[in-house]
Structure 1
Amino acid sequence: MSVFDETALDLPAQASQETPEAATARVEAMVLGACLMATPAQDPVPVVARILGDDGDWYRPHHETIWRAVLALHARSKPTGAPMVEAELRRSGELIKIGGFLQLSQIAAQACLSVEAEHYAEIVHGYARLRRYQQALTRGMQTARRADPVGVTDAIAAHQAELEHLAADQSADDGMFGRFADGLQTHLDSLETTVEPAAITGLTDLDGVLKMRPGNVIVVAGRPAMGKSAATLGIALANAASGRPTLVHSLEMGKGEVTNRVLSNRSRVALHHLMDGGEAITDDDWTRMARRMPDLEALPLWMDYTPRVTPGLVRTRIKSLIRQTGQAPLVVIDYIQLMYTDQRNSRQSTYDRVSEVSREIKIVAEETGAVIICCAQLNRGSEHREGKRPQTSDLRDSGQLEQDASAIVLLHREDAYEPASPRAGESDLIVGKNRNGPCTQITVAHQFHYSRLRDMSDDD
Structure 2
Amino acid sequence: MDHVQEQVAVSVESEARALGACLMATPAYDPVADVARAVREGDWHEPAHELVWSAVQQLHGASRPTGVPAVEAQLRSTGDLQRAGGVVGLSRLASEACSPAEAGHYAGLVHGYAQVRRYQAALARGMQGARHADPLSVPETIAAHQAELEYLTADDQDEDDAFGRFGDHLDEHLDSLALSVPAAAHTGFTDLDMLMKLMAGQMILVAARPAMGKSAFALGVATANARKGGPTLVHSLEMGRGEVSNRILAARARVAFHHLRDGASSLTQDDWDRLDRHTPELKGLPLWMDYSARVSPARIRSRVKTVLRETGRAPLVVVDYLQLMQTDQRNTRQSTYDRVTEISRELKILASDTGAVIIALAQLNRGPEQRPDKRPAVSDLRDSGALEQDADAIILLHREDYYEPESGRSGETDLIVAKHRNGPTGTVTVAHQFHYSRMRDMAEEPSHD
Please give the TM-score of this superposition, normalised by the length of structure 2.
0.94
Residue 232 of structure 1: aligned partner: 218
Residue 363 of structure 2: aligned partner: 377
Q: Does 1:86 align with 2:80?
A: no
- Quick one: distance in 2 between partners of 1:318 and 1:137? 23
The Cα offsets for residues 293-329 of structure 1, whole Å up to 9 and x where unpaired, read as 2221221111112212122222222223222222111
Q: Does 1:304 align with 2:268?
A: no
Q: Is the Cα–Cα contact under 8 Å of residues 34 and 117 in structure 1 kept in the other structure?
A: yes
Aligned residue type for 1:251:
L
Q: Does 1:50 align with 2:45?
A: no
- Quick one: distance in 1 between partners of 2:357 and 2:5? 49
Residue 220 of structure 1: aligned partner: 206
Q: Is the Cα–Cα contact under 8 Å of residues 197 and 212 in structure 1 kept in the other structure?
A: yes
What aligned pairs does 1:428-443 form with structure 2 within 5 A after superposition? Answer: 428-443=414-429
Residue 178 of structure 1: aligned partner: 164
User: Could you tell me which of 162, 177, 194 is aligned with 1:208?
Assistant: 194
- Quick one: distance in 1 between partners of 2:311 and 2:99? 47
Flag the 1:376–1:92 CA change in 2: closer, same or farther, 3 A. Answer: same
Residue 27 of structure 1: aligned partner: 14
Structure 2: runs of 5+ lacking an equivalent = none
Q: Secondary structure at the match of 1:433?
A: strand
Aligned residue type for 2:349:
I
Aligned residue type for 2:77:
R
Flag the 1:148–1:441 CA change in 2: closer, same or farther, 3 A. Answer: closer
What aligned pairs does 1:110-121 form with structure 2 within 5 A after superposition? Answer: 110-121=96-107
- Quick one: distance in 1 between partners of 2:238 and 2:4? 58
User: Could you tell me which of 291, 307, 316 is aligned with 2:302?
Assistant: 316
Aligned residue type for 1:450:
Y
- Quick one: distance in 2 between partners of 1:22 and 1:173? 22
Shift of 1:18: 6.9
What aligned pairs does 1:64-103 form with structure 2 within 5 A after superposition? Answer: 64-103=50-89
- Quick one: distance in 2 between partners of 1:47 and 1:171? 17
Shift of 1:440: 0.8
- Quick one: distance in 2 between partners of 1:185 and 1:283? 63
Q: Is the Cα–Cα contact under 8 Å of residues 215 and 371 in structure 1 kept in the other structure?
A: yes
Flag the 1:390–1:142 CA change in 2: closer, same or farther, 3 A. Answer: same
Q: Bigger shift: 239-248 or 83-92?
A: 83-92
Q: Is the Cα–Cα contact under 8 Å of residues 51 and 172 in structure 1 kept in the other structure?
A: no
Residue 347 of structure 1: aligned partner: 333
Residue 400 of structure 2: aligned partner: 414
- Quick one: distance in 2 between partners of 1:301 and 1:205? 24
Residue 401 of structure 1: aligned partner: 387
Flag the 1:293–1:23 CA change in 2: closer, same or farther, 3 A. Answer: closer
What aligned pairs does 1:130-279 form with structure 2 within 5 A after superposition? Answer: 130-169=116-155, 172-279=158-265
- Quick one: distance in 2 between partners of 1:120 and 1:300? 50
Residue 24 of structure 2: aligned partner: 37
- Quick one: distance in 2 between partners of 1:294 and 1:108? 75
Residue 356 of structure 1: aligned partner: 342
Structure 1: runs of 5+ lacking an equivalent = 1-13
How large is the Cα RMSD of the aligned pairs?
2.0
Aligned residue type for 2:410:
A
Q: Secondary structure at the match of 2:171?
A: helix
- Quick one: distance in 2 between partners of 1:97 and 1:402? 42
How many residues are paired up? Answer: 445
- Quick one: distance in 1 between partners of 2:99 and 2:23? 11
- Quick one: distance in 1 between partners of 2:60 and 2:308? 42
- Quick one: distance in 1 between partners of 2:9 and 2:432? 70
The Cα offsets for residues 75-106 of structure 1, whole Å up to 9 and x where unpaired, read as 33221112211222223333223332222222
Q: Is the Cα–Cα contact under 8 Å of residues 31 and 111 in structure 1 kept in the other structure?
A: yes
Q: Is the Cα–Cα contact under 8 Å of residues 52 and 171 in structure 1 kept in the other structure?
A: no
- Quick one: distance in 1 between partners of 2:232 and 2:365? 29
Q: Is the Cα–Cα contact under 8 Å of residues 140 and 296 in structure 2 kept in the other structure?
A: no
Flag the 1:320–1:42 CA change in 2: closer, same or farther, 3 A. Answer: farther
The Cα offsets for residues 43-84 of structure 1, whole Å up to 9 and x where unpaired, read as 222232233132x11222222222122122223322111221
- Quick one: distance in 2 between partners of 1:18 and 1:197? 52
Flag the 1:62–1:377 CA change in 2: closer, same or farther, 3 A. Answer: same
Q: Is the Cα–Cα contact under 8 Å of residues 9 and 113 in structure 2 kept in the other structure?
A: no
Q: Is the Cα–Cα contact under 8 Å of residues 9 and 114 in structure 2 kept in the other structure?
A: no
Q: Is the Cα–Cα contact under 8 Å of residues 10 and 114 in structure 2 kept in the other structure?
A: no
Q: Is the Cα–Cα contact under 8 Å of residues 10 and 110 in structure 2 kept in the other structure?
A: no
- Quick one: distance in 2 between partners of 1:132 and 1:332? 32
Please give the TM-score of this superposition, normalised by the length of structure 1.
0.92
Residue 10 of structure 1: aligned partner: none
Shift of 1:113: 2.5
Flag the 1:170–1:315 CA change in 2: closer, same or farther, 3 A. Answer: farther
Q: Secondary structure at the match of 2:112?
A: helix
Q: Is the Cα–Cα contact under 8 Å of residues 204 and 395 in structure 2 kept in the other structure?
A: yes
Q: Is the Cα–Cα contact under 8 Å of residues 364 and 382 in structure 2 kept in the other structure?
A: yes
